[in-house]
Amino acid sequence: MNIFRLLGDLSHLLAIIVLLLKIWTTRSCAGISGKSQILFAIVYIARYLDLLNTYISAYNTIMKFVFISASLATIFFMYVKFKATYDHNHDSFRIEFLIAPALVLALLINHEFSPLEILWTFSIYLESVAILPQLFLVSKTGEAESITSHYLFALGSYRGLYLLNWVYRYYAEDHYDLIAIVAGVVQTVLYCDFFYLYITKVLKGKKLQLPA
Amino acid sequence: AEANNRHDEL
């Protein structure tokens, strides 16, 4: 565990908690893409099936458990408890167009052709594009509430911090995982436009509003 | 060790 990895995990955890708290306290999931949340739940479940056969540490187990539970709770809020506030007209991204290619790619390019490794690889590929429905929703409505922006910033920073972690591990431990690195770069690049708007607008107290 | 590294990260 190095500082980048720890900060990445904390940023990831913060993002998930901010989102749940936003939905819970405002009793509304307006502006949040249920499609992205479904993709994240698939990502966590596919990747953390290793909870069943690999023990790493208490930290590892607890974090994986929290990510799966929190993402399922978010889906429950969006599709059941606060269903009336869900903006499904704008949330029209077709997630099968992300799931199918990620699955095909995982079958073709993986570390080992075994069910758990393929699911792990699938989760890495799917995670890299899972935010697209959310970014699509923001671009359709042309704006995002500041709390939604904070959520997106924390979520985007997490993989960026993981990239620094991988650079560090390459030099310090001679370890690198090309699948995770390439997917992590794609994932982080997808947020760049948002990061720019976040830094130039939201941090200066303005609302995140896209140019018309 | 490679696989463990993969399962260690979140």
Residues of chain A numbered 106-135 and touching chain B (CB < 8 Å)? 111-112, 117, 120
Per-residue pLDDT of A117-176, as tens digits, reads: 999 999 999 999 999 999 999 999 999 999 999 999 999 999 999 999 999 999 999 999
A32-59: average pLDDT = 96
Mutate to test the interface with A, among B2, B4, B5, B9 (most CBs of A within 10 A): B9
Going by pLDDT thresholds of 50, 70 and 90, the confidence category of residue A55 is very high
pLDDT exceeds cutoff 70 at A76: yes
Question: What's the pLDDT at A210?
Answer: 84
- What percentage of chain A has pLDDT greater than the value 70? 100
CB contact under 8 A, A54 and B7: yes
| CA gap A99, A55 in Å, rounded | 28
Question: What's the pLDDT at B1?
Answer: 57
CB contact under 8 A, B6 and A180: yes
A67-77: average pLDDT = 98
Mean of pLDDT over chain A: 96
CB contact under 8 A, A56 and B8: yes
Specify the amino acid at residue A125.
Y
Going by pLDDT thresholds of 50, 70 and 90, the confidence category of residue B2 is low
What was the ipTM of the complex prediction? 0.86
Going by pLDDT thresholds of 50, 70 and 90, the confidence category of residue B6 is confident
CB contact under 8 A, B8 and A9: no
Per-residue pLDDT of A88-100, as tens digits, reads: 999 999 999 999 9
Contact A88, A137 (CB under 8 A): no
Question: What's the pLDDT at A184?
Answer: 98
pLDDT exceeds cutoff 90 at A67: yes
Nearest residue of A to residue B1, measured between CA atoms:
A175
| A-B contacts (CB, under 8 Å) | 31
- What percentage of chain A has pLDDT greater than the value 90? 93
A31 to A11, A14, A36, A52, A92: CA distances (angstroms): 21, 19, 12, 35, 13
Chain A residues near residue B7 by CB distance under 8 angstroms: 50, 54, 56, 60, 120
Per-residue pLDDT of A40-52, as tens digits, reads: 999 999 999 999 9
| Number of other CB atoms surrounding residue A209 within 10 Å | 13
Contacts of residue B1, defined as CB under 8 A and 6 or more positions apart, other chains included, come to none
